[in-house]
Amino acid sequence: MRARAAAAAAPEREARTAMLTYAIGDVHGRTDLLARLLDRVNQALAVACIGLVLAYRSSSNLAAAYGIAVSGTMTITTVLYYEVMRIRWNWPIWKAGTDALDALPPLLGVPVGLKDLVNLEGTPTTAGSRILEGYVSPYDATIAARLKQAGAVIVGKTNMDEFAMGSSTEFSAYKKTVNPWDLERIPGGSSGGSSAAVAAYHVPLAIGTDTGGSIRQPASLTGIVGLKPMYGRVSRYGIVAFASSLDQVGPFARTVADLADVLGAIAGHDERDSTSYPAEVPNYLAEIETRKGPWKLGIPKEYFGAGLDPEVAAAVERAVAFYRSQGCEVSEVSLPHTQYCLDTYYIIATAEASSNLARYDGIRFGRRVVDPADIDDLYMRTRAEGFGAEVKRRIILGTYVLSSGYYDAYYLRAQKVRTLIREDFLKVYQDVDALITPTSPVPAFKLGEKSDPLAMYLCDIYTIGVNLAGLPAISVPSAS
């Protein structure tokens, strides 16, 4: 009853409660996850979560501007209310003492945004495409289920490039997401809605996917932290697929400690994902505290050539100087097959996309045209009307490289080069602990500035290598 009364409160009370919520979130300093403060008393949890309902309700216009809840900001309040009640009754802290407190889930009460290709039961999942308009998820993706189990409050879906194909979130079929630091500029992509929501302090955590840099690049352009885990570390079950051998789910946050907390909650083996890595999940937060360095760091010489913006180069140089001042040993290394990364990636990714997107035919789920003349007309018109220009471009390219007479010349050769790229990384890691590279070759550009698809593809040039190698990578801010 109290929750319902609070949801119907006057605007003045809404403002006061919203301020209380943001104070609990400590948006002026490090976040350290709301659970740091909310995991001690049930009343604090109740007040904070009710406040979040009101805060999100009153800021729905801002939320829409940053791409959160693509499927409609009207649903945020309802989702939050029921999530709060679920958490409160499943975790009645008032019943017991210290043991119960220690057993609380790690993300209890923490608001999280989901990229709109994560299936969440009972909610629309569009993957940013008209072809999935009206599709409502009948089940939870593994990552959604694990977030719920960890006590997180899933507040809504975030905008994205259609089927994760893009580097600016301009290719969403619904809305364009803007960069919170400059509303005329892009937030990066394809997970731009998630990065913008975190950077704008709408949520402390958000989930994205990274096929060729789609977590790290938007994190870089919005000044937050983004992690692409090792391939197979986080389950892909329930994730709308782009390129299955490259896709990986990962989190956005404002601190590395927050990333460590959420990764511990979502990582781990999943029998429903055949590519899931069967290994124990360590305590990542404890690892941060115990493994202090100093580290041996490598700088790949191939990443600092033509095409790198001077502003970005200067920021990386300042970061290198900082690490040297902390006692790290920094040396130049070589990844000789870097020059083939872009070509290799776009052959493999588009080939896999062509195969994965064949399922959208107007019959099984999603959009279907009205009054088709025959089955061929149903297929062709549904896909022509449902897919955007960038998705069509990649399907055509992928179908071509898989076609008879071209499979060996393109796709098979690209897979062989992929092996060489992975071997380059593994060889370098015998001598260094980590690599320092730029995330994006350029700062955030203005909306509509890059109309050439090739220029857009080059935005991924520094991030796609680790996807091809299946390795983990993180983007952290290096400039103000």
Nearest 10 degrees: Cα torsion 102, 104, 107, 108? -130
pTM check: above 0.85: no
Lowest mean pLDDT among 110-124, 185-199, 282-296, 329-343: 282-296
User: Is residue 148 flagged as an active site residue?
Assistant: no
| pLDDT for res 104 | 77
Q: Which residue has the higher pLDDT, 85 or 399?
A: 399
Q: Could you give the C-alpha distances from 161 to 127, 143, 302, 391, 459, in angstroms and in order?
A: 8, 20, 29, 10, 14
- Name the nearest CA neighbour of 88 among 44, 132, 118: 44
Q: What percent of the chain has pLDDT over 90?
A: 70
pLDDT band of residue 409 (cuts 50, 70, 90) is very high
Angstrom distance (rounded) from CA 203 to CA 91: 22
pLDDT recorded at residue 105: 84
Question: Catalytic: which of 71, 191, 195, 214?
Answer: 214
Q: How confident is the model at residue 68 (pLDDT cuts 50, 70, 90)?
A: very low
Q: Do 478 and 316 touch, CB atoms closer than 8 A?
A: yes
pLDDT for the residue numbered 266: 97
User: How large a percentage of the chain has pLDDT more than 70?
Assistant: 78
Cis peptide before 453 (omega within 30 of 0): no
pLDDT in the model for residue 79: 47
Name the E strands within 116-163.
Answer: 153-158
Local confidence band at 220 (pLDDT 50, 70, 90 cut-offs): very high
Give SS3 for 409.
Answer: helix
pLDDT at 281: 94
- How much is the average pLDDT of 138-159? 95
- Among residues 444, 477, 395, the alpha carbon closest in space to that of 192 is found at 444
Residue-wise pLDDT tens digits, 314-370: 999 999 999 999 999 999 999 999 999 999 999 999 999 999 999 999 998 888 999
- From the list 71, 115, 129, 478, the catalytic residue is 115
Catalytic residue among 129, 190, 354, 475: 190
Q: Is the pLDDT of residue 246 over 60?
A: yes
* pLDDT confidence tier of residue 292, bands split at 50, 70 and 90: confident
State the pLDDT at residue 146: 97
User: How does 29-59 read in b/e, with b if 16+ C-beta sit within 10 Å?
Assistant: eebbbbbbbbbeeeebbbbbbbbbbbbbbbb
Does 214 qualify as catalytic in the annotation? yes
Section 135-159 average pLDDT: 95
* Known catalytic membership, residue 176: no
pLDDT reported for residue 290:
86
Reported confidence tier of residue 305, pLDDT bands at 50, 70, 90: confident
**pLDDT recorded at residue 98:** 55
Ordered DSSP codes for 97-111 = -HHHHHTS-TTTT-E
Question: In the prediction, which pLDDT does 364 show?
Answer: 85
Residue 215 to residue 379: CA distance in whole angstroms: 33
Q: What per-residue confidence (pLDDT) applies to 90? A: 53
Q: Does the pLDDT at position 3 exceed 70? A: no
When pLDDT is cut at 50, 70 and 90, the band that residue 154 belongs to is very high
Average of per-residue pLDDT values in the chain: 83
CA atoms within a 13 Å half-sphere pointing along the CA-CB vector of 400: 9
The side-by-side arrangement of strands in the sheet containing 205-209 is 153-158, 111-115, 205-209, 249-253, 225-228, 473-475
Of 203, 219, 199, give the one whose Cα is nearest residue 152.
203
Nearest to 135 by CA among 151, 157, 106: 157
Question: Both tokens of residue 252?
Answer: 């956005």
Mean pLDDT of all residues in 413-434? 97
Q: What is the mean pLDDT of residues 105-120?
A: 92
pLDDT category, 405, cuts 50, 70, 90?
A: confident
Query: When comparing pLDDT for 311 and 31, which is higher?
Result: 311
Q: Which token pair is 414?
A: 């690209």
User: Which pLDDT score, from 0 to 100, does residue 51 have?
Assistant: 41
- What average pLDDT score do residues 376-403 get? 95
pLDDT value of position 479? 67
Question: Which of 161-165, 234-238, 401-405 has the lowest average pLDDT?
Answer: 401-405
d(CA 478, CA 221): 11
